[in-house]
Homo-oligomer: A and B are copies of this chain.
Amino acid sequence: MRMPHPECTTCKSRGSSLFNFCSCAETEKINLSKTCNIYKKDQVVFHENVFPIGLFCINSGSIKLSKIFSTGKEQILRIARAGDFIGYRSLITNDPYSVTATALEDSTICLIPKGEFHELMQTNKNFYEALLATICKELESTETKVSEIAYKPVRGRIAEALLLLANIYKKEEYINLTREDLASFVGTVKETAIRVVSEFKDEKLISIDKRRIKIINSKGLLQISNLYD
Q: Are the CB atoms of A136 and B187 closer together than 8 Å?
A: no
A201 contacts partner chain B, Cβ-Cβ < 8 Å: no
Indicate if the CB atoms of A140 and B89 lie closer than 8 Å.
yes
Q: Which residue of B lies closest to A68 (CB)?
A: B147
- Residue A70 at the chain B interface, CB threshold 8 Å: yes
Tell me the A53-109 residues at the B interface (CB within 8 Å).
Answer: 67, 69-71, 73, 75, 77, 89, 92-93, 95, 98-99
A44 beta carbon closer than 8 Å to chain B = no
> CA–CA, A67 to B151, complex, Å?
11
Interface of A is mostly: helix
The total of chain A residues at the interface (CB under 8 A) is 35
Query: In whole angstroms, what is the CA distance A77 to B69 when docked?
Result: 22
A151 touching B75, Cβ below 8 Å: yes
Measured CB to CB, the closest approach of chain B to A126, in angstroms, equals 13
Residues of B within 8 A of A135 (CB): 132, 135-136, 139
Chain B's closest residue to A98 (CB) is B140
A144 to chain B, nearest CB (A): 8
Query: Across the two chains, which residue of chain B brings its CB closest to A131?
Result: B132
Q: Which 10 A-B pairs have the closest CB atoms?
A: A150-B187, A75-B147, A67-B147, A142-B142, A139-B139, A93-B136, A98-B140, A149-B149, A89-B136, A75-B150
Residue pairs across A and B with Cβ atoms less than 8 A apart, 22 shown, are A67-B143, A67-B144, A67-B147, A69-B147, A69-B151, A75-B146, A75-B150, A77-B146, A92-B133, A95-B140, A98-B140, A98-B144, A128-B128, A131-B132, A132-B132, A132-B135, A135-B135, A138-B139, A139-B139, A139-B142, A142-B143, A149-B187
